[in-house]
Amino acid sequence: MTFFTKVTAPSKATFETVEKEYVVWCTGLSGTMLGKKHSAETRALMSATRSGVLSPTYGKKHSAETRAKIGAANKGRTISAESRAKLSAALKGKPKPKWSAESRANFSASKSKPVMTPYGLFPSIRAIAEASGRDASTVRTWLRKFPEHYYYVKKGE
């Protein structure tokens, strides 16, 4: 009776296979998508499950501290001419939001401050600019340089 069986030497291909499997096992790459691409259908499904109400950041806002950190990280960052050209090309032809005249008037009324001038009370800087045929920046300069003649008035006064 023999206790030993004859063992054949493993081939080089066997060593390569075992080594490859061991590396995959050690690096945790088994079962990953590394080197593969998701189909268009899968990408669309993943996008749909992460957008709108289903998004983990939906309805949340960054804190002031986080916004400051993001701003500090982006400070001094320059965008290359090539990237700017790509952004420009991507945005060309996209429709801009169209607000009705009523909506624009509401926005303007909510943000505007009445201004007293030597010519009377005006509802906003824009109204003075249109009446005088000047630019709004010119009217702001008048407010800064001539506070005794041009000044803001609290609404309702």
Model pLDDT, residue 31:
67
Regions of the chain where pLDDT drops below 50 = 1, 7
pLDDT of residue 138: 92
pLDDT at 53: 86
64 token code pair: 């002031």
- The reported pLDDT for the residue numbered 109 is 72
Range of the domain at 143: 117-157
For the chain, the 3-state helix, strand and coil shares in percent, each to the nearest 5, are 50, 5, 45
Residue 15 located in a structural domain: no
pLDDT at position 57: 86
Question: Does a structural domain hold residue 56?
Answer: no
Give the pLDDT score at 29: 57
In a domain, 126, yes or no: yes
Cα separation values, 99 from 44, 52, 81, Å? 31, 23, 32
Residues 6+ positions from 50 with CB-CB distance below 8 Å: 56
The C-alpha atoms of residue 105 and residue 91 are separated, in whole angstroms, by: 27
Is there a domain that residue 151 lies in?
Answer: yes
Is 83 a member of any domain?
Answer: no
- Has residue 124 been placed in a domain? yes
Does this model's pTM top 0.85? My answer is: no
Edge-first strand listing for the sheet containing 151-152: 120-122, 115-117, 151-152
The domain total for the chain is 1
Q: Is the residue at 138 inside a domain?
A: yes
H helical segments located in the chain: 12-27, 40-49, 64-74, 81-91, 101-111, 125-132, 136-145
Residue 146, in any domain of the structure:
yes
